Each structure stands twice: as C-alpha cells, then as structure tokens.
Amino acid sequence: EINIPNTWHHFEDYEKELKHKYLQRCKKIKKSFVGVKVRELNEQEIFDFRQEIFSLYEQVTHKQIVSMGKLNEDFFVELKRGLKENYRMCGFFLDDKMIAFSSAILHDGEYDMNYIGIDYAYNSSHQLYFNILFHCLESAIASGSEKLILGRTAIEAKAIVGCTPDYRFSFYKLRNVIVNWFYQRVSKYFSESQGDHWKERHPFKSTYYS
C-alpha cells in the first residue's frame, strides 16, 4: 500500500518525491505508454466488453503461483451493479483494441485495486503492468483517497512504485498429516518465489518519510 500525503494533488507531486533513479524509470515507463488510451467504463460498457475483460483476466490468473479460485464473465458486471460509483473499471485501448483493464473499489478513503487484466503480447512493448500501477495511483490521487492498496502479488514491482507491506496474520491448524505436508511445500515455494529483493526498494526521497 501507499499512503497518499494531502499535498499530492496530481501525479507530478508523486514524481517530485522520487529519487532520481526511480524518477527516470517512471518517465521511461510512461513514455512507452504513448498511443494507449485509458477511459473509465460504465456498467453497459463493462457488459459489452465482458468477453474481452474476462479473456484479459484469464491471462493474468494463469500466471499466478497460487490461485484461490476463478471468476466468471458476469462477476465484473455484477460488482459494478452492486457497488455503483464505488466500483471503477478502466479499459486500456490501443487502436480501439482493449489490451488491458484495471478495477478498484473505493471505500473509507482508500482506493483498493481489485482485479486487472493484461494482454501479454503488449506487456513488454508498452510496460502495461507498471503503467496500470501508475494509473491506479494517479486515479487514487484524483479521487482524494488517503491510501492506495495494491494487493498481494508482484511484491517487488509494487515496492518499486513505492508500496510498503501491510502484514496480516492468520492462525489455523491442519490435522491431516498429508495436507499439512503439502501446504508446507506450497507455502515455502510461494515465499521463495517472491524473494527478498523488494525489501531493498526505497524509491522516495527522505522527505516523504519525514
């Protein structure tokens, strides 16, 4: 998550807080986004684009190390129908083709990024993932939110943007020996795959932390 100071009114205010190396990286990433148009989708548009949205979502979920389940095409429409203006979905278009989307839930002064979708054929050339993160931050600032929450995956990428972890703890007991052994293996693999490099990422100048 990123705490958004009340002095940030535009994305440029975020950029001013970045160290030189991270600022140059940010500008390079945003430069690769030239030609991509972003617009917020209303309920009817989410319905009309539901197949494209679901296909982009599937590309992301197939790359996840651990999946807690799979959505269906109607999920995003129903979420918009239920939450109305508190649920936002943006489509990213290149030559009128949707190549990515991002969604977020607004609640209690927080901009909570929900699901995203990416056409990985364009991810490298247009730095889609990082540009989605930057767009979420820009949207969070514009909405007057006090905090941007970016979820659990791709920890190092989010640390580069400026996120810090919000640790949550759960306690449970697995009685079955085989299930317990399997869980330990999966948990260890998940932790090792994330690595510790993200802990070395400190993109902001010292003034941000003061």
What pLDDT does 184 receive?
80
Residues 6+ apart with CB under 8 A from 192: none
What pLDDT does 40 receive?
97
- DSSP labels, 60-122: HHTT-SS------TTHHHHHHHHHGGGEEEEEEEETTEEEEEEEEEEETTEEEEEEEEE-TTT
Cα–Cα dist 49/13, whole Å: 34
Per-residue pLDDT in tens (0 to 9) along the chain, 210 residues: 999 999 999 999 999 999 999 999 999 999 999 999 999 999 999 999 999 999 999 999 887 666 666 888 999 999 999 999 999 999 999 999 999 999 999 999 999 999 999 999 999 999 999 999 999 999 999 999 999 998 766 777 788 888 787 777 777 778 888 888 877 877 776 565 555 555 556 788 877 766
Angle between helical axes of 128-142 and 20-31 (0-180°, round to 10): 100
What pLDDT does 171 receive?
78
What pLDDT does 155 receive?
74
CB 98 within 8 A of CB 48: no
Angle between helical axes of 50-61 and 75-83 (0-180°, round to 10): 110
Cα–Cα dist 30/123, whole Å: 13
pTM for this prediction: 0.83
Could you tell me the sign of the dihedral formed by the alpha carbons of 5, 101, 198, 20, in that order? negative
What pLDDT does 108 receive?
93
What pLDDT does 139 receive?
97
Three-state DSSP class for 163? Answer: coil
Q: Which of 57, 74, 70, 168 is nearest to 115 (CA)?
A: 57
Q: Which of 114, 102, 29, 128 is nearest to 18 (CA)?
A: 29
What pLDDT does 182 receive?
79
